[in-house]
Chain A
């Protein structure tokens, strides 16, 4: 890992750890919890939608599965310390991943828009089940979870730190993926799946693994959200808008990057909440929200971070070209067909 990356990571972790110690008001801590929830959701979606290029619209189904799994585990329980649900998050994640495995095997036989349709169908199946399996979910009446026995003064803090841990875990996993041949395989699948299969990449296994891990994390976040809310309704636990938010945040920040989904979540979630506070409940904020999004997408179509990266790379190449002399240093960037001069360069000069 390079020194700037380590510094960036260190500052980020230090900032996350110290924020609640600054005596922030409840509404702001609540906002931060939701930003962390969406940052983790987007980062987990990024593993399959960003790296592998499979635009899953069914992730909210797994968010709901996580929420209801925790609700079922702790039905009629009285909590002693309040931390018990957090300790069971890995179990919830494992259940989500195990459910995700066969879903991935089936749905990932399709691609692109068909895959999106198959996964959103799964979401609606889960939503319908949540509304109708009354014994398990309480149907449209909803279901209660144990009330977290945390003091009112510190209520958000445990949730905040658990979400910090989940976000760092997801980002760590993303970082490890990017640095491994798993990441290389996923990007090759996104670029040209048939070709990737043709050069021996274990296409099916890699895709299914990424999907299962991704939905496992999504389930864990759903469980934390359910515990935080203490009462869940099917229309909110299995909400297509959650999936849409994950996708928008990832695309806004930059898909297939480590920091993009986090940046997207910080901008969109905090922007949405702040605009709601400013403009009230008349939903005028949606117009401002849409305008901001439109402007960013028009100016930065690949997402914020990749666009900035591209511009920096171009600038540094121009500088290098200036230093070395244009004839030898500028490599064809925008040309589909190379010139004779390019090949002459490539062959060490002398070609006619």
Chain B
């Protein structure tokens, strides 16, 4: 398997804090890779740099063999790299269906076509049905519960036919039933060829779903390997529990 995403020596400093400190890692195509680490270890900052929401102070990011360092998030999205956020970010003033349509991506030519065209509707409805959100498709997204918003955000990133999806704490604040649903969707999409990089604190979720697991501490990876190995690694235990 080739590397779909490579991060080389990336550094990001906020004031006097080195949030990401020369981090290098790679994500192989077709895997469900986890990125774990204690709070403040730089996981979300690294996510923001990879997806273009933050500019790195140093280092390089490659996606699908191309240097995409500092690329605009929209451009990366169109190239197949999409993400979700720790706090689900949806468009509250749009309906659930429209949230999916806007995430479907459209160029200038389509800008003046119908708000929700026939093709858009078919595509969005099929995803909404799959995510059991079809009953609320006409509601404003602001009316959804927290868990439903998480599902909606996940469904929305799939509208763009991504190659790599970065999920930032997909299970945070979500009940066990919904966690199972989320897990199922990740597995199904992965079987269809989508690669995942997941930041997560729920270790049972990570151990069940992800392989490999990359552990980040103080802004740089300290270990990468199979979940069973990670659990017993002294460096990892030290990072989480302290020496």
**8 A-B pairs with the lowest CB-CB distances in the bound complex, closest first:** A338-B145, A198-B73, A200-B105, A191-B91, A199-B103, A351-B177, A200-B77, A200-B74
Given A184-B98, A343-B177, are A338 and B148 neighbors across the interface (CB < 8 Å)? yes
CB distance from B100 to the nearest CB of A (A): 10
Interface size class of B (residues with CB under 8 A): 35 or more
Interface assignment of A319: CB less than 8 Å from any CB of chain B: no
- The answer on a CB contact under 8 Å between B74 and A201 is yes
B-side contacts of A339, CB under 8 Å:
145
Which residues of A sit under 8 angstroms from B83, Cβ to Cβ?
198
In chain B, residues 92-132, which have Cβ atoms closer than 8 Å to a Cβ of chain A?
A: 92-94, 98, 101-103, 105-108, 110-116, 132
* Residues of the B chain whose Cβ atoms lie less than 8 Å from the Cβ of A197: 72-74
A187: Cβ under 8 A from any B Cβ = yes
**B2 touches A (CB below 8 Å):** no
Which single member of B53, B114, B157 contacts A194 (CB below 8 Å)?
B53
Question: Are A332 and B91 in contact (CB-based, < 8 A)?
Answer: no
Q: 23 A-B Cβ contacts within 8 A?
A: A181-B113, A184-B94, A185-B102, A187-B93, A188-B94, A197-B72, A198-B73, A198-B77, A199-B77, A199-B156, A200-B74, A200-B103, A201-B102, A202-B74, A202-B111, A332-B143, A333-B143, A336-B146, A340-B177, A342-B147, A346-B147, A347-B132, A347-B177
Question: Given A199-B77, A343-B178, A347-B177, is A331 in contact with B136 using a C-beta cutoff of 8 Å?
Answer: yes
| Residue A1 at the chain B interface, CB threshold 8 Å | no
Pair A198/B177 contact, Cβ less than 8 Å: no
> Is the CB of B175 closer than 8 A to any CB of chain A?
yes
Instruction: Give a binary string over A171-208; 1 marks a CB under 8 Å from any B CB, 0 the rest.
Output: 00000001111111101101110111111111101100
* Distance between A2 CB and nearest chain B CB, rounded to angstroms: 14
Residues of A within 8 A of B189 (CB): none
Q: Which residues of A contact B160 (CB under 8 A)?
A: 199-200
In which size bucket is the chain A interface? Answer: 35 or more
Q: Assess the A342–B91 pair: CB atoms within 8 A.
A: no
Query: Does B8 make an interface contact (CB < 8 A)?
Result: no
Q: Which residues of A are at the interface with B, using a C-beta cutoff of 8 A?
A: 178-185, 187-188, 190-192, 194-203, 205-206, 256, 331-333, 335-340, 342-344, 346-348, 351
Given contacts A185-B102, A331-B139, A344-B177, contact A192 B91 (CB under 8 A): yes
Contact for B145 among A184, A199, A256, A342, CB less than 8 A:
A342
The answer to whether B112 touches A182 (Cβ under 8 A) is: yes
Inside 8 A of A351's CB, which chain B residues have their CB? 177
Q: Which of B74, B82, B173, B178 contacts A203 (CB 8 A)?
A: B74
Q: What residues on A are CB-neighbors of B144 within 8 Å? A: 331-332
The residues of B that contact A200 with a CB separation of less than 8 Å are: 74, 77-78, 103, 105-106, 160
Q: B125 CB to closest chain A CB, in angstroms? A: 16
Q: Which residues of A contact B94 (CB under 8 A)?
A: 184, 187-188, 191
A contact residues around B113 at 8 Å (CB): 180-181
Q: Are A179 and B102 in contact (CB under 8 A)?
A: no
